[in-house]
Amino acid sequence: MTNDRLSLRIVRYALLTFGALLMVIPFLWMFLTAFKSTAELNIWPPTVLPEVWHFDNFVQVFKTAPFAQYFLNSCVMSIISTASILFTSTLAGYIFAKYKFAGNKAIFGAVLATAIVPFEVYMIPVFLQLRYNGVMNLIDTMGGLVAPYLVMSFGIFFMRQSIIQQIPDELIEAARVDGASEFRIFIQIVMPVLGSSLAALGIFAFLEAWNAYVWPLLVANSDSLFTMELGLSAFQSAFTLNIPLITAGSLISILPIMIVYIILRRQILESFSSTGLKS
C-alpha cells in the first residue's frame, strides 16, 4: 500500500469517526442527563456521569403525565400504519413489476410524483375530507389519526424495485403452470422472498408514523388520543425548567425506535444492496 493511499484511508476513517461522534454524543448526553437531578445539572463544572443515578425520574414522568396512554396510542398508530404500508406497497409494487397493462408506466410515474410533494401541502384538504366526508367525522379518532399513513409512495417504488431484482419472471410463470392462483403466488412466493425488503420498509413506515407530529396535532383534540410526540411537547411546555424529566421522557419516546433498528439493521443493509439503493 502506497503512502498516499494509506494517508487517504487515515483521513477517511478520521472523518467517519468524527461524524460518528457528532451523532452519538447528543444521544449519550441525553441518556446521562435523564438520570441526573436538576441541582446536579446546574452545577459548574458539569459532571459527565451522574453522581447519583435517579431512576425515579422515569417513574416521575409516568406519574406526572399519562405517558402510558401516549405510548399506547403511538404503538397502535405505528403498527396499523406499518402493516397497511407493507401490504399495500408490496401488492402495488408486485402489480407494477410483474403485470403488463395499458398505463402501467403512467400510473407508476404519477405515484412517484406524489413522493416529491410534501404532505403539509395537501394536509388541509385531507383534514377537510375526513371532517366533512358525508359519512362520519373522523377527527379526534384513531381512524383519522392513522388515515394519511396507510399508503407510502416511496414504499411502492421500493417494493417494485425489490421485486424486479429478487423475483424472476420464470418463478412466477412456473407457479402459474403448476396451477397456483395469483393470491397464492403473492402470499406464498412473493412475500417470503422479500423478507429483508419488508423489514427495511417496515422500519421506515414505523418511523414515519411514530415521529408524526403536525398531523396528530391537527387531528387529536383530546389528551386521550395524544401520541408520544404530542405528549412530549405538552410535557416539555409544562416542565420547561426540569431538563432531567424532559430528557427522560425523550429517552422513553425514542427507545422503541432504537430497539427496532438494532434488531433489524442487518435486513436494512441487505435490502438496500439487493435493490441497488445502497450507493
Is the per-residue pLDDT at 271 higher than 70? no
- pLDDT of 77 reads 93
- pLDDT of 203 reads 87
At 14, list the grid cell. Answer: 478520521
User: What is the rounded CA–CA span in Å between residue 127 and residue 38?
Assistant: 41
- Indicate the domain borders of the chain: 58-275
| 20-35 pLDDT tens trace | 888 888 888 888 888 8
Is the per-residue pLDDT at 278 higher than 50? no
Per-residue H/E/C for the chain: CCHHHHHHHHHHHHHHHHHHHHHHHHHHHHHHHCCCCHHHHCCCCCCCCCCCCCCHHHHHHHHHCCHHHHHHHHHHHHHHHHHHHHHHHHHHHHHHHHCCCCCHHHHHHHHHHHHCCCHHHCHHHHHHHHHCCCCCCCCCCHHHHHHHHCCCHHHHHHHHHHHHHHCCHHHHHHHHHCCCCHHHHHHHHHHHHCHHHHHHHHHHHHHHHHCCCHHHHHHCCCHHHCCHHHHHHHHHHHCCCCHHHHHHHHHHHHHHHHHHHHHHHHHHHHHHHHHCCCC
Is the per-residue pLDDT at 279 higher than 50? no
Handedness of CA 61, 63, 69, 75 (dihedral sign): positive
What CATH number is given for 58-275 in this structure? Answer: 1.10.3720.10
CB-based contact 118:53 (threshold 8 Å): no
Mean pLDDT of the chain: 84
- pLDDT of 270 reads 66
> What is the average pLDDT across 60-77?
88
Q: Does pTM surpass 0.95?
A: no
Is the per-residue pLDDT at 10 higher than 70? yes
